[in-house]
Amino acid sequence: MTQKTRKWVLVAAARPNFMKIAPLIRAIAEHNRVNGSSIKPLLVHTGQHYDDNMSDEFFRDLALPDPDVHLGIGSGSHAEQTGRVMIAFEEVLLKERPDLIVVVGDVNSTIACTLAAVKLHIPLAHVEAGLRSFDRRMPEEINRLVTDVLADYLFTPSAEADENLLREGIPREKIFLVGDVMVDSLLFNLELAKKRPILDHLGLAQTADRYALVTLHRPSNVDDKASFKRIVGAMLKIAARLPVLFPMHPRTRKQVDAFGLGNAFIFHKTPELCTEGGKSLIHVFEPLGYLDFLSLMAHAAVVLTDSGGIQEETTVLGIPCITLRDTTERPITLTEGTNVLVHNDPERIVAEAKRALAGKGRKGSCPAIWDGRTAERIVRILSKGVMS
């Protein structure tokens, strides 16, 4: 007897989402093949990302299919973005009548699609549930809290996330410890990424493991002039020792210009030689695709970041990670991984970088459940309909 086709809507909004959605789409296809099931994934791209070209590059790198629906929301304030996504996504749900919605991460589209789904009484799964920074000044923290309260299935990456949810009164039967789905993407693509010619383009092929990699975009770091200047000053001291590579977020670049900090940087139009000229300056280029960035991260001596996901990826790769924040929603990267928190303290930033370059950075280990099979576990649980 032919099985009833079940329609699952998978929501992607920004680049970190794409890395979490790609393994789920692969796992659904494999589940259908092995079990003869008929799960039809419907990929909805909200367009929250500020740069469509960058989104397209990530889709190519991750071998994601073209979105079935592109909402084209664009940028705006938190309220504007959330409201526009809710309105547009509700129209999709009313038309498609899916059996399940899957949201990932903690961006504005995550909470917006959650609200639209639960008001239409459509079951909702949250992948990467239970993460908490305990800092409600972060908009992502609000998005996480509200999404987890409303979701029917909460898929967590670590035991600490389970504990957070239980402490908040979430019923245990809704919580599933499955691992980190972003690690699925990393492990699946790592060898391919290492073959990319990005190190040759940058003149670093012969000096792999002797450069620092930076990402920086959070308002607390780049929208406050004093904070940003402290961080740049620390990066310049690191740049006196080895090349510092900075694929720069567009909003960060705007702040560099606004604060008059351009003299600290060499701006490259494309990734090109970073070993000649401009010693002791920071090499800046446009944000990279997923595979090129993964290659740079895998070969770096140290990574400096304020991103959440990169804390996890460096832990898996065994690369020292210096996080320019005073809290993290991923404490497992501190207790088991390679991560340290330094906030925006220039002395601590430089000291931790020196430790890493001397081979004395944190020597962490990858949590056992981060094994590349998280998406497989999620799809298996959802296909059984354990909440029905």
Catalytic machinery residues: 217
Distance CA 236, CA 257 (A): 17
Token pair, residue 10, equals 């998978």
DSSP 130-157: T---S-TTSHHHHHHHHHHHH-SEEEES
Distance CA 236, CA 221 (A): 16
Secondary element (H or E) of residue 8: strand 6-12
Output the CA–CA distances (angstroms, integers) from residue 50 to 13, 75, 191, 199, 214, in the order listed: 10, 6, 29, 27, 20
Is the distance from CB of 182 to CB of 312 less than 8 angstroms? yes
Distance CA 309, CA 41 (A): 24
Distance CA 129, CA 127 (A): 6
Residues 6+ away with beta carbon under 8 Å from 91: none
Output the CA–CA distances (angstroms, integers) from residue 302 to 153, 275, 325, 350, in the order listed: 36, 17, 16, 11
DSSP 153-168: EEEESSHHHHHHHHHT
